[in-house]
């Protein structure tokens, strides 16, 4: 392992410890079942979580939060229930695409789908229209309990501001940093991602970061040793 790799590993471990001490166990992702988590993962694209919660509440009120019901409901009817989540026509189409995939490939059985090997299922999910890497990995980690790290905009922003990555790194390259330097443990990846999301929301905002108050602020010395000048 190179010096830079050792420094990156040290930063990732120290950051987790600092954030975990600050926030505690975040019990993320919210959802009463793997199905609800999957629906939430698809709906949360380009919207705030509170809007997703309203859409899921609509589905529950209509007693439609089952695989059979979501497979059978017409797309136009589904879209109306998803209005609070924004882009509701697009999201209805994406949900329908997922449930068609579930029916065609797994006879509608979510347990069978989630029982597939991580790499195999990931490839299949990425072929579903409207499911990208972040959504697929969220389904794998949070609904399937599979040890794969989810990368989002908060993760990228925090790592960039601390000099751990360069802007041009692809999703997979960032994901491999975590997968290479941390134990492959689903609860660990779950908590770490949740910690980064909360850090991004509360301290590392896009326009007005609160760096002095950030729980990662004391890692500045280690941060400086990781920065790569290109």
Q: Average pLDDT by consecutive 10-residue portion of the chain (230 residues)?
A: 86 96 93 96 94 97 96 97 97 98 97 98 97 98 98 96 87 96 97 97 94 87 46
Decide which of 143, 163, 179 is a domain's last residue: 143
Are residue 127 and residue 48 in the same domain, yes or no?
yes
Are residues 158 and 222 located together in one domain of the fold?
A: yes
Whether 23 and 38 map to the same domain: the answer is no
> How many residues can be counted in the chain?
230
Among residues 110, 128, 143, the one where a domain terminates is: 143
In this structure, the answer to whether residues 126 and 188 fall within a common structural domain is: no
Would you state the pLDDT for residue 221?
A: 53
The CATH number for 139's domain is 1.10.340.30
The pLDDT of residue 226 is 46
Residue 102 has a pLDDT of 98
12 and 76 assigned to the same domain:
no
Q: Look up the domain containing 118 and give its range.
A: 34-143
Please tell me whether residues 216 and 169 are part of one structural domain: yes
Q: For residue range 189-221, list pLDDT tens digits in order.
A: 999 999 999 999 999 999 999 999 999 988 755
Same domain, 39 and 138: yes
Which of the listed residues 79, 110, 143 is the one where a domain comes to its end?
143
Specify whether 85 is located in the same domain as 15: no
Are residues 132 and 221 located together in one domain of the fold?
A: no
Count up the domains in the chain and report the number. 2
Query: Is there a single domain that holds both residue 38 and residue 128?
Result: yes
Same domain? For 46 and 139 the reply is yes
CATH code of the domain containing 184: 1.10.1670.10
């Amino acid at each position: 392992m190179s010096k830079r790799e050792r420094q990156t590993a040290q930063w990732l471990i120290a950051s987790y410890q600092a954030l975990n001490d600050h926030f505690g166990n975040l019990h993320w992702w919210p959802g009463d079942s793997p199905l609800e988590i999957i629906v939430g993962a698809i709906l949360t694209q380009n919207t705030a979580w509170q809007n997703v919660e309203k859409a899921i509440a609509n589905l529950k009120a209509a007693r439609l939060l089952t695989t059979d019901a979501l497979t059978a409901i017409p797309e136009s009817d589904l879209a109306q229930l998803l209005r609070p989540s924004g882009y509701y026509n697009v999201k209805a189409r994406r949900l329908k695409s997922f449930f068609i995939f579930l029916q065609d490939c797994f006879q509608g059985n979510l347990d069978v789908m989630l029982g597939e090997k991580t790499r195999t299922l990931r490839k299949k999910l990425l072929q579903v229209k409207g499911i990208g890497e972040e959504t697929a990995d969220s389904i794998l980690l949070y609904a399937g309990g599979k040890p794969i790290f989810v990368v989002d905009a908060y993760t990228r922003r925090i790592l960039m501001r601390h000099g751990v990555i360069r802007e041009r790194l692809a999703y997979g390259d960032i994901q491999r940093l975590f997968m290479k330097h941390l134990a492959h443990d689903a609860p660990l990846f779950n908590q770490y991602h949740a910690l980064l999301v909360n850090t991004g929301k509360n301290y590392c905002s896009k326009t007005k970061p609160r760096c002095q108050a950030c729980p990662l602020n004391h890692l500045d010395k280690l941060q400086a040793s990781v920065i790569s000048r290109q």
